Amino acid sequence: MRYYNKFSEYLKKKYGCRVHKIPVYAGFFCPNLDGSLSFKGCIYCNNYAFSPSLRNEETLQKQIEKGIEYGKKRFKAEKFIVYFQPYSNTYGNINELKIKYDVVKKFSSEIVGISIATRPDCIDQEKLNLIESYSDDYEVWIEYGLQSIHNKTLKLINRNHTYSDFLKAFETTKKRKIKICVHVIIGLPEESEENILETAKECGRLKIDGIKIHPIHILKNTELEKIYNEGKFKPFEMEEYIKILVNFLSFLHPDTIIHRLSADCDRKYLVAPEWLFQKQKILNLLEEKMKKENIYQGKNYKGN
Ligand code: SF4
């Protein structure tokens, strides 16, 4: 029994081999950090902790070359997706974007995809035209950071965009040959289980192509760390996360591809929870629970 639609299996089926995602730092920044929207950023944000590529000062070409070498050696991968990961990778002028994305063209057909992580308020028709232009030769994903559909939460975590900003970006993007992956965080401050599952139902209703779900984690040098140290916020225990995650998956469309269900970060930046690094255990417990309770992705999906 397949309890949820795994990205790795989707890639294996489509390309007939292991596909490795290469995170690259292309030198973009974020309007929520450079003062355009705020200097503070999202309360949980520490890009140094969650993007290993950020510490990379090599050219994009070099980063991709090294990523290919590493993926072949470490994972026996044969195909690759270049992942523009840290900050907001559509935050720049169109010429800059084109120069940076075009670097993938210097590589052979080993590169089968491009994945671009960004904020939903950092996109427009011109940028989407450019991104879509790669879809004749590559599988193209855009990853929108949403985190929650609740404006109260988005305000609290200082996202500086609203749910309607996301919907606008989503509707404009979905008309194109671009796959949409949505980032969601489970366990944000002041969100109840019901609030979290409302986000799941919306993700189901929208039939998003892909989703990344992360448990909230507290990183050093963030606003959330201060709140945590003051005793005003506590992240979920692993069991609580898994319980909500099972229900979350049940509300998604059965075809939505699950890119991630855990989070990565540099160990030296993590404040809590300690269980964050037990990624395999999280996945094992999740599947056990789904099996035991006969819950699977899409079980509670209601359609429009
Ligand atoms: S949008 Fe992303 S990069 Fe910008 S502050 Fe928020 S988490 Fe950090």
Ligand 1 touching residue 33 (CB < 6 A): yes
Q: Give the distance (Å) from ligand 1 centre to CA of residue 163.
A: 16
Question: Which residues of the chain have a pLDDT value below 50?
Answer: none
Q: Which CATH superfamily is domain 7-292 in?
A: Aldolase class I (3.20.20.70)
The pLDDT, as a whole number, for residue 195 is 98
pLDDT tens readout for residues 275-303: 999 999 999 999 999 999 999 999 999 87
Ligand 1 touching residue 47 (CB < 6 A): yes
Query: What number does the ligand 1 atom closest to the CA of 30 have?
Result: 4
The pLDDT, as a whole number, for residue 47 is 79
Q: Which among 73, 76, 74, 80 has a CA at the least distance from the CA of 21?
A: 80
Alpha helix ranges (H) inside 133-273: 151-156, 163-174, 193-205, 223-229, 238-251
Distance (Å, whole) CA 136 – CA 134: 6
Ligand 1 touching residue 67 (CB < 6 A): no
Do residues 56 and 63 touch, judged by C-beta distance below 8 A?
yes
Do residues 228 and 272 touch, judged by C-beta distance below 8 A?
yes
Residue whose structure tokens are 């969601």: 184
Do residues 297 and 4 touch, judged by C-beta distance below 8 A?
yes
Query: What number does the ligand 1 atom closest to the CA of 119 have?
Result: 1
- Of all protein residues, whose CA lies closest to atom 7 belonging to ligand 1? 45
Query: What number does the ligand 1 atom closest to the CA of 41 have?
Result: 5
Can you give the pTM of this predicted structure? 0.96
Q: Which among 46, 36, 33, 26 has a CA at the least distance from the CA of 263?
A: 46
pLDDT tens readout for residues 239-253: 999 999 999 999 999
- The contacts found for 162-166 with CB under 8 angstroms, 24 or more apart, are 165/120, 165/121, 166/120
The pLDDT, as a whole number, for residue 183 is 98
The pLDDT, as a whole number, for residue 302 is 84
| Best of 47, 84, 212, 221 for a ligand 1 pocket test (most atoms within 8 Å of beta carbon) | 47
The pLDDT, as a whole number, for residue 53 is 63
The pLDDT, as a whole number, for residue 108 is 85
The pLDDT, as a whole number, for residue 290 is 98
- The residue ranges of every structural domain in the chain are 7-292
DSSP 258: E
Residue whose structure tokens are 């201060």: 226
